[in-house]
Amino acid sequence: MNEHYLHLLWRSKRLPMHTLKTTDGKPVGVLNTGFYNTASGPDFFNGKIELDGLIHSGNIELHVRSSDWMAHGHQTDPAYRNVILHVVYEHDQPVFIDGVAIPTIELKPLIDWKHFETTVQWMQGAERIACAGQLADCPAPVVWDQIEKALFRRLERKSAELIALGTRLQYNPQKVLFHSIAAAFGMKTNQLPFQQLAHRLPFERLLRTGRQLESVVFGTSGFLEQPAADDYQTQLKFDWHYERSLFGIHPAEMHAWHFKGCRPAGFPTIRLAQFASFIRQMDWSEAFWELSPRAIKNCLETALTAEPSEYWKTHYHFGRKKQKEVSGAMHLSTAHVVIVNSIAPFLWWLSDVTGNPVFRERAVDLLELLPAEKNAILDEWKTHGLIAKSAAESQGLLELKNEFCNRKQCLHCKVGLYLLKR
């Protein structure tokens, strides 16, 4: 047995999810398996389970054996303090966080060994996209129709994630927009701490905050709880203590933020400074989502790429200077990633809650105006002759790979059905 196979089972939900129980016999409702993490930290971020009648949100860790928790040193790593569920092949010892046993699911009795052997062989030798060698035999209209179908499915899926958020925020569009953008700012590595930051920040009061806005953002994130490394951090701490008492904010724990796996320009300190600048520049009124797709794009590009305070031109951390002075503003390509991952799903969600289909059209039109993303999955599609010309097409290709190909949903894919019926 290996962790890669366990990750596959958990990601693809190839388990009797409705009958899972902890090692002490308690039923576990898995509401969200979490976001698969390939960087440092727990295997799945931002999962959600129901246990003993309560909803728990946090991270999920997988191991071959429970004792691997200790063998890997997680007991001394603060990044693992928010683990709400331990999923293991074999439960050989209990694991505790602050003296409380972590709920554990043992998968050993549930393993389909024929599937395990077939999957191991496939993972070692087969092509990553099952129909890759036959794609040329499928008519282009069928392929691109499936890519469009995958795009709509992706937007539906991301909109569904905002439905629960919208309920918590009393369907306030400005707040939902704020939370959606905050999550996108964190990219994959720091999505969860940015989401938590958005929940801690007092949105309406934040918009009325003047020059202290950056101190509120850094203070709430936990970065001002440590001793000051220079005069700039000292000034932020001074402002923060006043704002903290005024707003009654409880800061997050700084260890929740991940530097490992990020390039210096994407360090959480830089992203937080850019986030503070964006909040100040952004048009949060209802007039924003009534703009044309091109006007929405221009508005966001301007706000997202605005220069943060001068300090971040010469620093990556508090007290730690860059080798040379460069812009601290967000790169335009990164701004486009934020727009793709936050604004398009928000507009789709807005269409769902208002019943106005214009917002769906606006979401797709906005994606068609943005350039295609660049990553390993899209590079793989290029080798098979599928080259995205816009973010709409690249989002469709990403969904096709992650939700159809990876899950072997060939019978639900128009391309797969066409090839299988030949």
pLDDT in tens, 354-370: 999 999 999 999 999 99
Among 93, 125, 157, residue at a domain's last position:
125
CA distance 406 to 339: 26
Residue 340 has φ and ψ, to the nearest 5°, of: -60, -45
Does this model's pTM top 0.75? My answer is no
- For residue 289, give its domain range: 142-369
Domain-located, residue 73: yes
CA distance 35 to 183: 13
The long-range contacts involving 165-172, CB below 8 angstroms and separated by at least 24 positions, are: 166/349, 166/353, 171/353
Kindly state whether residues 204 and 336 are assigned to the same domain: yes
Mean pLDDT of the chain: 90
- The lowest-confidence range among 194-198, 260-264, 311-315 is 260-264
DSSP 228-296: PSSHHHHHHHHHHHHHHHHHT--PPPGGGS--TTS-GGG-HHHHHHHHHHHHHHS--STTGGGS-HHHH
Kindly state whether residues 165 and 235 are assigned to the same domain: yes
Provide the pLDDT for residue 37.
84
- Tens-place pLDDT, residues 184-217: 999 988 999 999 999 999 888 888 876 689 999 9
Kindly state whether residues 170 and 313 are assigned to the same domain: yes
Among 354, 369, 384, residue at a domain's last position:
369
DSSP 342-397: HHHHHHHHHHHHH--THHHHHHHHHHHHSPPP-SHHHHHHHHTT---SSHHHHHHH
Burial of 95 from C-beta contacts in 10 A (0-12 / 13-18 / 19+): buried
Average pLDDT (222-231) is: 92
Contact 198, 206 (CB under 8 A): no
Kindly state whether residues 182 and 275 are assigned to the same domain: yes
Among 321, 353, 369, residue at a domain's last position:
369
- Tens-place pLDDT, residues 90-145: 999 999 998 899 999 999 999 988 878 866 664 454 457 878 878 889 999 999 99
Model confidence at 172: pLDDT above 80: yes
| Strand spans (E) along 95-143 | 96-97, 100-101, 104-106
Provide the pLDDT for residue 122.
46
Radius of gyration of the chain (CA): 23
Please name the amino acid found at residue 279.
Answer: I
Q: Residue 126's CB: how many other CB atoms inside 10 A? A: 12
Provide the pLDDT for residue 127.
52
Kindly state whether residues 34 and 173 are assigned to the same domain: no
Domain-located, residue 418: no
Kindly state whether residues 93 and 218 are assigned to the same domain: no
Kindly state whether residues 215 and 326 are assigned to the same domain: yes
Average pLDDT (320-334) is: 87
Of all residues in the chain, what percent carry a pLDDT higher than 90? 66
Domain-located, residue 326: yes
Domain-located, residue 102: yes
As for how many domains the chain has, the answer is: 2
Question: How far is residue 400 CA from its own chain's centroid?
Answer: 18
Average pLDDT (248-277) is: 90
* Region at 20 (left for phi over 0; alpha for psi -120 to 50; beta for the rest): beta
SS3 302: helix
Q: Which residue has the higher pLDDT, 417 or 287?
A: 287
Contact 221, 254 (CB under 8 A): yes
**Hunting for tokens 């035999």 — which residue is that?**
137
Provide the pLDDT for residue 324.
81
| Contacts (Cβ under 8 Å, ≥6 apart) of 270 | 264, 308, 312, 316, 328
Contact 17, 30 (CB under 8 A): yes
- Tens-place pLDDT, residues 287-307: 999 999 999 999 999 999 999
Q: Residue 365's CB: how many other CB atoms inside 10 A? A: 17
Provide the pLDDT for residue 262.
85
- The lowest-confidence range among 72-76, 335-339, 345-349, 418-422 is 418-422
CA distance 184 to 278: 13
Provide the pLDDT for residue 278.
95
Kindly state whether residues 106 and 198 are assigned to the same domain: no
Domain-located, residue 62: yes
Q: What's the number of CA atoms in the CB half-sphere (13 Å) around residue 78? A: 7
- The lowest-confidence range among 7-16, 20-29, 154-163 is 7-16
